[in-house]
Structure formats: structure tokens, C-alpha cells
Amino acid sequence: MHQSVAHIKNEKLSEHFRAHEPLAQYTSWRIGGAAEFYVAPESEAEIARIVQFAQSQGMPLTVLGGGSNVLLSDQGLPGLVMHITHRFSGFEFQPDGHVIVKAGTRLGTLIRKAMSLNLGGIEQLWGIPGTLGGAVVMNAGACNTETFAVVETVTSLTPQGQRVTRSKAEINHGYRWSDYKYNGEIVLEATLKLAPTQAEVIAENFQKADLRRQPQHSIRQPNCGSVFRNPNNNFAGRLIEQMGAKGRICGGVQVSPDHANFIVNTGKATAQDACRLIQSLQADVWQQYHVQLEPEVIFLGEF
């Protein structure tokens, strides 16, 4: 066994540790290389231990959540990849409508449970893939609402291993971003404030959100969701469709014929395929409309 692998195993960071773990399987795009070292923590204590170890070794540390909004390099990722997923998930509903949610919890699971309790506020986020942690980091949104509309507090771990809880007022956030996208902190959990709501109202909001996302639901090939942020007073998909780029192919990826802001993996796509297609769309939209399309997808690794 390679010495560094043995060294990490001896640290007992987690039962779920592997070397040279293929990462494409953990992304909705099914694209990307392997992690040098992969670990999937089950507890906050394990997360803290992993962060401390990476710091002490000067080792790169990448946090991966639901993998629904990332493009992973074909070369993979060096150092440690910490996968915060179902092993670090769960929620606790309070009598007053608050719910404490761990970062690895799937949004869809949380929304279904809230609806069963007649608690409203997040049903319009239905259809957004990924985890609560990723939704906080990106301030995920849909149907004229966003994650921070219901966030009350967020608890995170700093790169130095300090546990910090901030109120919504203390967290900068906007369209598809929050402080956690840039500050290097790891979201551990969030407290959301939901409101008792008539079941009929929740069901109506849910159905509207589901109907609005039907074009996305019909896409069966692997994808990362919306590739580009919507420009001011416009829609990225509309611009791409207007210039006739629906269905455009580059290697193993294609602009979805169902939704022009989605790029699908047609079988054996590479990250470079996706990059080239993204760049060609940006160049053509700029040339035709003088609008700069900004990627919503997060790029991980070397490109």
C-alpha cells in the first residue's frame, strides 16, 4: 500500500475512505476523473477531523455535495475530496415550524416531509436537485423564491476548524450565491423557518413549481441542471434557443433539445467537451446579443 494511503487510514478519518475513487458516479453529469483520496463523513466530528488533518498536512481539500451543479476535471482532484451526502443527513422539525437540517439532506426529501406536516415555504423549490448544503452555498432558487427566503441561521466550519453559527442577516447572499461560495467554510446545517399553511395552498404552489419545471423533468440524460445564470431581464435558455443552438453537439455533450440552458451527456462525455460547448455558446451569444453568459455550474479541478 502506498505510504500516504496507509498514513491517512491510520488517522481513522472515516470508515468510508478510499484512494483513487472515480468521482463521475457522484455527479449528476456523470463526468470527471478520480479523487486522489475520497472520504464520506458520517458525523460533524468526522468532518472536523478531516479538515484538521488536511490543514496539518497542507493537503488540498475539496467538498462535494449532491454533485448536481459541478463540472469535475477529467484529471480528477488532488488531495482529499470530502463527500457530504446521505451519510450526513437528517432533519428535526420543531413545534414552532422551525426545522434543523443537516447539510447532506436531499432537498426533495425535506420538501416532501414539510408538505406532509402542512408546513409551507419551500414547496416551490421542488425539482431542484442536490442537498441542503449545496442549496445554501448557491442560494438555489426557482419560481420567484430562493433558499434564503426560509433560512434563519446557518452553522458552518471554518478552515481553521471553528464552528460558527450566523443569522441570515449576517450572511451576504444574492442570485445564485452566498458567502459560503467564497469563504472556504463548510456548511454543516441550517435552521429554516417554515409556516403552517393550508394543504390546498401548499399543493397549488407545488403543482405550479412542478409544471414550470416539466421541460427539465423530461430530460433523461445526465446533466447538471441550468448551466448559465440568467442575465438581467432575460433568460439564458431563451438567448441560446433564439440563435438556433438547441441540439448543438460537441463531442459527447449536447445542448438539450428540451431546454436550451441544459447540456446533456450523450454517453461518454468529457469535461473538455462540456467546456468547449460552454465557451462556444458564450462566444456566440456575445457576438449576436452582446450579453455575457456567466456559468452557474461550478468548475472543480484543472481545465
151-163 pLDDT, tens digit per residue, is 999 999 999 899 9
Residue 93, beta-bridge partner list: 99
**Mean pLDDT, range 55-64, rounded to an integer:** 94
Annotated catalytic residue 46: no
Name residue 188's beta-bridge partners.
Answer: none
Same domain, 130 and 242: no
- The answer to whether 118 and 198 are in contact (CB under 8 A) is yes
Provide mean pLDDT across the span 39-57: 94
Of residues 189, 226, 248, 256, which has the active-site annotation? 226
Q: Are residues 148 and 100 in the same domain?
A: yes
The answer, yes or no, to whether residue 215 has pLDDT greater than 90, is no
Find out whether 79 and 39 touch, Cβ atoms under 8 Å.
Answer: no
Q: What is the pTM of this model?
A: 0.91
CATH number at residue 115: 3.30.465.10
Q: Is 200 a catalytic residue?
A: no
User: Between these two residues, 216 and 26, which has the higher pLDDT value?
Assistant: 26
Mean of the per-residue pLDDT values of the chain:
93
The reply to whether 93 and 175 lie within a common domain is yes
Q: Is the same domain home to 206 and 112?
A: yes
pLDDT tens for residues 65-90?
A: 999 999 999 999 999 999 999 999 99
Q: Domain ends where: 179, 212, 245?
A: 212
- Look up 176 and say whether it is catalytic: yes
Which pLDDT does position 2 carry in this prediction?
Answer: 45
Residue numbers of the domain that contains 30? 3-86
Q: Which of 176, 178, 185, 248 is catalytic?
A: 176
226 and 287, same domain (yes or no): yes
pLDDT tens digits along 256-274: 999 999 999 999 999 999 9
Q: List pLDDT tens digits, range 87-114.
A: 999 999 999 999 999 999 999 999 999 9
